[in-house]
Structures are given as structure tokens and as C-alpha cells.
Amino acid sequence: MANAGTVTPGQPLGRHHNRWVQLAIGIVCMGLVANLQYAWTLFVVPMDAKHHWGQAAIQTAFTIFIVTETWLVPVEGWLVDKFGPRPVVIGGSICAALGWVIDAHATSLMHLYIAAVIAGVGAGCVYGTCVGTALKWFPDKRGLAAGLTAAGFGAGAAVTVIPISNMIQSAGYEQAFMFFGIFQGVCIFLLALMLVRPNPPASVGAAKRVVATKIDYTTGQMVRTPLFWVLYMMFVFVAAGGVIATAQLGPIAKEYGFAKMPVNLLGVTLPLLTMALSIDNLCNGFTRPLCGFVSDKIGRENTMFFIFLGEGAALLGLMYFGHNPYLFMFFAAMTFLCWGEIFSIFPATCADTFGGKYAAANAGTLYTAKGTASMLVPLASVLSSIGSWNAVFIAAATISIAAGLCAKFVLAPMRKRWIENTVEQTSKSVDASFQTAWSETPRNSSAR
């Protein structure tokens, strides 16, 4: 008997079993869980004002959340590969709601840290599942599919950041945690009931301009290759700047003195920080399918080269011109525009390189690089307190530019050799199988 949520080859598909419908469900789930990360910066200052825990201590909860979200994704990806997406996302919905409910009632830093672990598990379950299944559903459009899915996580918070900010101002941050935590959890739970195992059409293959392996590697095999660790290092380098910006944008704007300054854009007037976060989240979401689509057309490494250099330039622009409120919004948006694409390009590159069969677990293992990068968030707070934000911006820009150069001149030739070797191995395997079959074929004419 097939497991729940399983679609067997040749089985008539219901309407919600269509791969584009499944992709849409994943995108909405990602958007609903995005606030656990991208709205966090709105709660830091109100919590510190009430409890006086210190922003560095509160931001430690953010680091715990990111580490838990990312470093458990390989386990969650393995569960998806084994049991299908539905039960994993259902578990994630419960944890996502519970995390913010605990945050609403937290009276100590320990409560905050426990909530961060639970919320991190929830976000990881949803994120790892939706990205992993998108890679499986769309072997012909991996960059675009991963980008659209990750866009939900990047842009989803843009829809709710203004209501959350308004509720914090009018009813307190506790009420915002309670309401949106429960709301998001319930919606994800209901959507999870419609998820099924990926069953892509048999006729689709890899994108024409993207070289892809013919061999499916397990996670254990993948992590023993130098190529994986080059990808991992690059992910850490580029993620560091974006993660720091995500967590510290509120404190930076407050230090610069214009966090609550009203700004008008296209007839809409909002506090500068709220406006900046809304624009940043839109840019963060928009770049994921765009760069994923572009990478399907011009190659993964070429796209990485240009966009990673762009992030370095944006961070330096934020340092030099960020004291002007409008230039602060512009360069913050550019930072997110050049950062968010890592969540489409890297999973697609991972599946191209190590195969699609174990894509959820493999992409989840690579995704732990985001957790490694998040460990720099408290360090950035400390560095800014003893020096200035300039040192943080310079360091983040330098490693982002280094990652861009690495993509072009290190990753590209390594991956080309890797794919050529897998093609050669596949050819030898086919030849050996043919020779074995030929040797076992009866040649006695009487056998005819």
C-alpha cells in the first residue's frame, strides 16, 4: 500500500497533485513561516526596552534560531525523502506556532532561547521540505523552482511586516507574537494536508544550459568530496553579510537616528525602518526566482560571479552612504537583492552536482552553511560596540567579493571536471552492463 501523500508513476493525478500546484503550496507555506526570521528585528528593541536584557543577548536567540533551523534540515530532509513532505510540514507548523507563543510569554532569556530552538525546528521543517520537493518536481527548471519557493520565504514577510509593526505599536510585542504565531501555524497546517510526494513527468530532464550529473549521491558520499566544501564555504561567505543585515538593520537604523523618521514613497508614508524592511523583503524575494531563472540560462557560476560582487558593492555603499536615510534604504535593498539569490542558486547547484534522488537531504546539508554564517551575528554586535559598523561592513563585503571570484575561478572548473567524471563513470557502467548482458546471451543456433 502506498504511503500517505505518495503518488505512484502512472497514477491519475488529482488537481492539487499537479507539480505547479504543489509548487504554489510550497511557496505559500514558505511565506507564512518567513516572519520567524525576517520580522525578528522588529521585536528586538521593544523586548530590550521592557526587560533590559541587552540587544546582544536578545540577538543570541536569533542565532540559536538560525542554527537550529539550518543544522537540523539534513535530518528533516532525510525524513522528507523517506516519509514524504506532508508529516514533516505538519510538524513544522506546530513548532512554528509554539515558538512565537512562548516568545509572547517569555520572562527570561532562557525562555527566549527555548522558543528559538522550537521555532527553528518549525522553520527548518517547512523550508527544507518545500525547497527539497521543488528540486525534485522540476529537474528541468531547478533554478526557477527553487527560486520561486525561496521567494516565498524572502518576500512573504513583506506582506505582514507592516501589520506586525502596527500591532507591536498598538497592542505590544507580546500580542503580535501570539496572534501571528497562531495564525501562521494554523495556515501552514491546513496547506500541509495537500502536499504529496514529488512525481515529475517522465519526459523532463535537466535545463539545456546546465550541466548535471547522471549519478545520485547520498549525503554521506557528498560530504566526502572537496567540491561540496567549496560550495559550503562560498555559501557561508555570502550568507554572512545578508544574515547580519537581517538581524542588525533595526539597531543600525536606530543608531543612525532615523529608525522612526517618517518617509514617503509612492504616496505611502511609514517609519523609515518599516519602509526599509518592506522594500528589503520584496527585493529578497524577487531576486530568488529571477536569479534562479537566469542561472538556468547562463549557468550557475556565471550568475554567482556577478551577483556576489554586487553584494560586496552594496555593503560598501551602505557603509559610505548609509547615514543618508534614503541612501540607507537604497543600499539596504541592494544588499538584499544581491543576497537572497543564494537560496535558489545553491540548492539548484547542489542538485545538479550530486543528483536529484536525495535532493532534500543534500540541499538541507548545504543549507546548514546559513547557520554557520549566523554565528557571526553576535560577533557583529560586539564588534560594532567596541568599534563601529564600518568594520562589519568591510569584512562582510570582502568575503562576499571573495566568494564571487571563487565561483568563477575555482568552483566552475572543479564542477566541470566533476560532471565530466560522472558522465564517464555512467558510460563505463552502461558499457559493462551491455557486455555482461551480451556475454550471457545464448549464441547456440539451436536456442532460437
DSSP-assigned letters across all residues of 245-259: HHHHHHHHHHHHT-T
Q: What is the pLDDT of residue 439?
A: 53
Q: What is the pLDDT of residue 446?
A: 44
pLDDT bucket at 114, cuts 50 / 70 / 90: very high
In a 13 Å sphere around the CA of 345, the CA atoms on its Cβ side amount to 31
Q: What is the dihedral of CA 331, 280, 148, 65, to 10 degrees?
A: 110
Given a cut of 90, is residue 422 above it in pLDDT? no
Taking every pair of C-alpha atoms in the chain, what is the biggest distance, in angstroms?
A: 94
Helix (H) or strand (E) holding 269: strand 268-271
DSSP annotation string for 114-178: HHHHHHHHHHHHHHHHHHHHHHHH-TTSHHHHHHHHHHHHHHHHHHHHHHHHHHHHHH-HHHHHH
Which carries the bigger pLDDT value, residue 116 or residue 438? 116
Q: What is the pLDDT of residue 15?
A: 53
Residue 223 lies in a domain: yes
Q: What is the pLDDT of residue 85?
A: 92
Is residue 156 a contact partner of residue 187, using CB atoms and an 8 Å limit? no
Between the ranges 144-148, 186-190, 312-316, where is the mean pLDDT highest? Answer: 186-190
Tell me the β-bridge partners of 270.
263
* Integer Cα distance of 369 and 47 in angstroms: 28
Tell me, rounded to whole angstroms, the distance of Cα 179 from its chain centroid. Answer: 25
* Integer Cα distance of 406 and 349 in angstroms: 15
Residue 287 lies in a domain: yes
Residue written as grid cell 545520485: 216
Candidates 96, 105, 113; CA nearest to 39 is: 96
pLDDT over 70, % of the chain: 85
Tell me, rounded to whole angstroms, the distance of Cα 376 from its chain centroid. Answer: 17
Q: What is the pLDDT of residue 309?
A: 95
Q: What is the pLDDT of residue 183?
A: 93
Residue 448 lies in a domain: no
Given a cut of 80, is residue 448 above it in pLDDT? no
Residue 364 lies in a domain: yes
Tell me the β-bridge partners of 268.
265
* Integer Cα distance of 336 and 339 in angstroms: 5
- Overall number of domains in the chain: 1
Bridge-based pairing of strands 268-271 and 262-265 is antiparallel
CATH code of the domain containing 255: 1.20.1250.20
Segments in 172-267 forming alpha helices (H): 173-192, 219-222, 226-256
pLDDT bucket at 13, cuts 50 / 70 / 90: very low
- The region of weakest confidence among 153-167, 183-197, 214-228, 425-439 is 425-439
Residue 3 lies in a domain: no
Q: What is the pLDDT of residue 429?
A: 54
Is residue 176 a contact partner of residue 164, using CB atoms and an 8 Å limit? yes
Which carries the bigger pLDDT value, residue 443 or residue 357? 357
pLDDT bucket at 208, cuts 50 / 70 / 90: low
* Integer Cα distance of 302 and 103 in angstroms: 42
- The region of weakest confidence among 50-54, 326-330, 388-392 is 388-392
- The region of weakest confidence among 23-37, 65-79, 246-260 is 246-260
pLDDT bucket at 442, cuts 50 / 70 / 90: low
* Integer Cα distance of 414 and 86 in angstroms: 37
Residue 249 lies in a domain: yes
**Domain containing 401: what range?**
15-199+206-424
Which carries the bigger pLDDT value, residue 234 or residue 284? 234
Q: What is the pLDDT of residue 437?
A: 44
Residue 441 lies in a domain: no
Q: What is the pLDDT of residue 179?
A: 93
Three state DSSP letters for 301-335? HHHHHHHHHHHHHHHHHHHHHCCCHHHHHHHHHHH
Q: What is the dihedral of CA 283, 306, 63, 127, to 10 degrees?
A: 60
Is residue 161 a contact partner of residue 278, using CB atoms and an 8 Å limit? yes
Given a cut of 80, is residue 90 above it in pLDDT? yes
- What's 11's DSSP letter? P
Residue 189 lies in a domain: yes
* Integer Cα distance of 312 and 300 in angstroms: 18
Phi, psi of 242 (to 5 degrees): -70, -40
pLDDT over 90, % of the chain: 29
- The region of weakest confidence among 99-103, 324-328, 433-437 is 433-437
